[in-house]
């Protein structure tokens, strides 16, 4: 499936900010076997005095921008075209949880896709006993890792209410779970916490959803903004499997990946540090149009 993507994010500051520096992770990259990026262009207004591109630890594209003169707004526009590849739903080749633990222990990789990075707590996914208890209640002995992932995803989808505006970007995961509501970021962090509590390596994927569903299908939750979902490591044989807890589905052709990391903090789309404080406003719009659908 081919997509045309247009994203606009803007920030307006109450007081001009001195020496603003912004770190942006908005450029989609190729994902082996899943996604090919045909073109991508990120434009920034006002024009930054410095702009550098690099890859972060996980291999995501990262763009640093520095403004030497004070600025009172930033506008970022991404235009990209990407193809999501057809993926067959294969056999479940994942081990059970004790088997998964042995495979993790035997894994001696430290690169960005190694499971070890995604087991322990991270900045936005601390250990939350209530989520752990919830997770334990869902699984039974002998389930495969993939079954565990899908069971947890489904259970959370049933338990939680998708509610725009109920939480914000800094709402703690425990709080979102206690109130059983949130947006894709909260769903994703909670599911990561649940999987890690069971010993399943789990990470955060940011990206887009197609804006309009194929005819006859419901519009997906989160399609009007940037989206997030879960990646879970299902053993050496299957590798990483992606699951979208907001829409309760495995990720195939309706999702376009931008970046992945341990949680939102690793891959926040825009990180900016400003020397001046004061009010700021932001806006954000996304269009993801299938070209051949």
- Using CB under 8 A, list all residues that contact another protein: 18-19, 21, 23, 50, 52, 54, 56-58, 64, 66, 68, 104-105, 107-110, 114, 116-117, 119-120, 123, 265-266, 271, 273
**Is 1 or 114 the residue whose CB approaches another protein more closely?**
114
Beta bridge partners of 35: 31, 84
Q: Which is nearer to another protein, 19 or 284 (CB)?
A: 19
Cβ closest to another protein, residue 105 vs residue 291 = 105
- How far apart (Å, rounded) are the C-alpha atoms in residues 197 and 288? 34
Between CA 182 and CA 278, with CA 264 as vertex, the angle to 5 degrees is 85
Residues composing the chain: 293
Closest contact distance (angstroms) between CB of 21 and another protein is 5
Contacts 24+ apart (CB under 8 A), 220-225: 220/246, 220/247, 220/254, 221/162, 221/184, 221/246, 221/247, 222/162, 222/183, 222/184, 222/246, 222/247, 223/286, 223/288, 224/285, 224/286, 225/284, 225/286
DSSP state for residue 259 in the 8-state scheme: E
Alpha-carbon span 237 to 246, nearest angstrom: 27
Closest CB 129 distance from another protein, rounded Å: 13
Determine the 3-state secondary structure of 17 from DSSP: strand
Determine contact, residues 54/62, Cβ cutoff 8 Å: yes
Q: Which is nearer to another protein, 118 or 177 (CB)?
A: 118
Q: Of 88 and 110, which has the nearer Cβ to another protein?
A: 110
For another protein, the closer of residues 95 and 245 by Cβ is: 95
Q: Could you tell me the sign of the dihedral formed by the alpha carbons of 103, 106, 111, 116, in that order?
A: positive
Nearest distance from C-beta of residue 196 to another protein, angstroms: 11
CA distances to 7, 47, 59, 65, 155 from 19, in Å:
25, 13, 27, 10, 46
The least CB distance from residue 168 to another protein, in Å, is: 15
Q: Minimum CB separation from another protein for residue 54, in Å?
A: 7
Secondary structure of 54-118 in the HEC alphabet?
Answer: EECCCCCEEEEEECCCCEEEEEEEEEEEEEECCCCCCCCCCCEHHHHHHHHHHCCCCCCCCHHHH
The residue (of 123 and 133) whose beta carbon lies closer to another protein is 123
Closest contact distance (angstroms) between CB of 115 and another protein is 9
Distance in angstroms (rounded) separating the CA atoms of residues 96 and 146: 9
Residue with Cβ nearer another protein (19 or 40): 19
């Amino acid at each position: 499936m081919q997509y045309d993507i247009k994203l606009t994010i803007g920030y307006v500051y109450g007081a001009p900010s001195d020496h603003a520096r912004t770190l942006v992770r908005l450029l989609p990259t190729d994902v082996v076997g899943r996604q090919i990026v045909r073109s991508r262009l990120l434009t920034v207004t006002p024009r930054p005095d410095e702009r550098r591109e690099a890859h972060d630890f996980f291999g995501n594209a990262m763009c640093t921008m520095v403004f030497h003169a004070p600025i009172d707004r930033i506008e970022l526009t991404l235009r990209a075209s990407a193809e999501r590849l057809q993926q067959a739903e294969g056999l479940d080749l994942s081990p059970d949880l004790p088997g998964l633990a042995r495979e993790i222990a035997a894994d001696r990789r430290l690169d960005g896709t190694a499971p070890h990075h995604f087991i322990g707590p991270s900045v936005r996914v601390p250990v939350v006993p209530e989520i752990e208890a919830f997770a334990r209640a869902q699984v039974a002995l002998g389930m495969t890792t993939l079954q565990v992932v899908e069971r947890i995803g489904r259970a959370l989808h049933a338990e939680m209410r998708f509610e725009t505006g109920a939480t914000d970007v800094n709402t703690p995961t425990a709080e979102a779970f206690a109130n059983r509501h949130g947006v894709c970021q909260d769903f994703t962090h909670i599911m990561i916490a649940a999987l890690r509590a069971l010993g399943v390596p789990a990470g955060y994927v940011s990206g887009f959803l197609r804006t309009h569903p194929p005819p006859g299908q419901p519009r997906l939750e989160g399609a009007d903004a940037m989206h997030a979902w879960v990646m879970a490591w299902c053993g050496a044989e299957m590798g990483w499997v992606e699951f979208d807890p907001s829409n309760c589905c495995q990720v195939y052709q309706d999702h376009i990946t931008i970046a992945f990391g341990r949680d939102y903090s690793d891959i926040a789309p825009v990180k900016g540090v400003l020397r001046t404080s004061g009010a700021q406003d932001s806006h954000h719009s996304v269009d993801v149009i299938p070209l051949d659908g």
